[in-house]
C-alpha cells in the first residue's frame, strides 16, 4: 500500500542532507501532486550575544535566509510543483517545526535531512531525532 500525501513540509538549511531532503521532497510532491512548504529556521544559537542584540545583523541574516528560500521555491516551481510556499521560523529548529509550523500549516508529511549544519546545540541531540519522535505526522529522514 502506498500513501499519497497532499501537503509536504520540507526543512532546509545549508547542509548536504537538507539538500538531499529537498530533492526527495520535490520528487515526492510531484509524484503525489502535493503542495510543498519549504521551511528554514533562523537560529539564535548561531549568533553571539552582540549579533543577537543587533537588529541590523538579524535583519541581514533573515534577508539572506529569505533569498535562499526563494531559490528553493524557484526550483520547486520549475519542477512543476504547485503550490509552493516558503516559511521562516525563529528559534530551535526541531521545536519550531513540531510545535509551530506543523500545527499552523497542517502538512501530512515532514521531510528533513538526517544531519543539520554544525552548531554547538547539536551536541545535545539530533534535531531529526527530536522531530521524528515528537511530530504528530509522518516524518521521513533523508541521509
How does pLDDT run across 27-79, given as a tens digit for each residue?
999 999 999 999 999 876 554 444 444 454 445 678 888 999 999 999 999 99
Reported pTM: 0.85
The per-residue b/e assignment along 42-53, b for 16 or more CB within 10 angstroms, e otherwise, is bbeeeeeeeeee
| DSSP conformational letter for 100 | I
Contact 22, 51 (CB under 8 A): no
The average confidence (pLDDT) of the chain is 85
pLDDT at residue 9 above 80? yes
Mind listing the pLDDT tens digit for each residue in 100-110? 999 999 999 99
Nearest residue to 18 (alpha-carbon basis) of 63, 66, 69:
69
Rounded distance between C-alpha atoms, residue 84 and residue 72, angstroms: 10
Report the side by side order of strands in the sheet with 84-90.
84-90, 35-42, 7-11, 109-113, 138-142
User: For the chain, which domains are there?
Assistant: 7-142 (3.40.50.620)
When pLDDT is averaged across residues 109-134 and rounded to a whole number, the result is 77
Distances (CA, A) of 117 to 15, 127, 139: 5, 11, 19
pLDDT confidence band for 124 (50 / 70 / 90):
very low
Amino acid at each position: 500500500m502506498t500513501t499519497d500525501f497532499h501537503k509536504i513540509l520540507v526543512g532546509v538549511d545549508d547542509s548536504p542532507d537538507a539538500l538531499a531532503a529537498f530533492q526527495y521532497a520535490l520528487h515526492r510532491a510531484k509524484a503525489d501532486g502535493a503542495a510543498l512548504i519549504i521551511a528554514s529556521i533562523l537560529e539564535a544559537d548561531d549568533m553571539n550575544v552582540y549579533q543577537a542584540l543587533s537588529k541590523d545583523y538579524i535583519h541581514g541574516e533573515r534577508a539572506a535566509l529569505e533569498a535562499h528560500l526563494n531559490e528553493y521555491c524557484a526550483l520547486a516551481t520549475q519542477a512543476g510543483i504547485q503550490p509552493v510556499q516558503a516559511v521562516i521560523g525563529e528559534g530551535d529548529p526541531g521545536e519550531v517545526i513540531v510545535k509551530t509550523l506543523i500545527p499552523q500549516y497542517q502538512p501530512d508529511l515532514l521531510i528533513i535531512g538526517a544531519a543539520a549544519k554544525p552548531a554547538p546545540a547539536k551536541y545535545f541531540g539530533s534535531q531529526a531525532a527530536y522531530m521524528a519522535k515528537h511530530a504528530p505526522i509522518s516524518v521521513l529522514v533523508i541521509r
